[in-house]
Structure 1
Amino acid sequence: MGDNKRGREKQADDEERRQQEREVEEARSRADEAEPLRDDPTGQLGDLDEALENHAYPSTTNELVERYGGYDVETQNGEASLEEVFASTDDQTYYSADDVRSRVLGLIHR
């Protein structure tokens, strides 16, 4: 293929087509991946988020479980109650809703 206008246009068209094919293939290969975490964790725990925002701090794990243990949070394997999420942890003190949220998200490996 010579270096002329028609040849350059064909090369550009071919490259554009190949790029589109690569993007489609990448999208297909990533379709089964879990959604990434959002940069802002606020709102990721459903109804529990609002309850945590309105809770008085400091508070302990045991106090939170006693009050909100029945709230369900979404995990990689479905849903679990806050009580189930905290079951494997020791009692610790939290100073804000963000502290609790970070701990819960860490425990459910989101």
Structure 2
Amino acid sequence: MADDKKGRNKQADDEERRQRERELQEARERNDEPEPIDPALDDELENREYPTTADELVGAHGDREVDTRDGSKPLEDVFAPIEDESYDSADAVRARIRELTDH
């Protein structure tokens, strides 16, 4: 491409178009990510040692409120029907909480 005003303008326009495409792609990817359960609880889950059990989670975080389809509940109530489950990561815990709260 020639190094003249027209060529520089085309390069700038192309870069702006690519930047808009990158931003759109990032926005689409963010829409695929689930919403955090609760930012403070998310941090606590990230800082736990894994594997962990439902009983250990309730013992450490049972009073934390999480949103449910019907309002909010303490984590202790959310995990009440669970017996002897183990989780290998914070993501696994969050996924299970979402299942139990219909999120």
Q: Same fold (TM over 0.5)?
A: yes
Supply the distance in 2 between the matched residues of 1:51 and 1:58 (Cα, whole angstroms): 14
Picking from 37, 45, 50, the partner of 1:57 is 50
Q: Match of 1:66? A: 59
The answer to whether structure 1 residue 90 and structure 2 residue 83 are counterparts is: yes
Aligned-partner SS, 2:32: coil
Query: Any unmatched runs of 5+ in structure 2?
Result: 1-30
Aligned equivalents of 2:37, 2:78: Cα separation in 1: 15
Alignment size in residue pairs? 73
Matches within 5 A, 1:1-110: 39-41=32-34, 43-110=36-103
Distance 1:54 1:42 in 2: 19
Q: Distance in 2 between matches of 1:47 and 1:79?
A: 15
Aligned-pair distance for 1:91? 1.7
TM-score (norm 1): 0.62
Superposition RMSD in Å: 1.3
Greater helix percent: which structure?
2
Deviation, structure 1 residue 41: 2.6
TM-score normalised by L of structure 2:
0.66
Identity over the aligned pairs, expressed in percent? 42
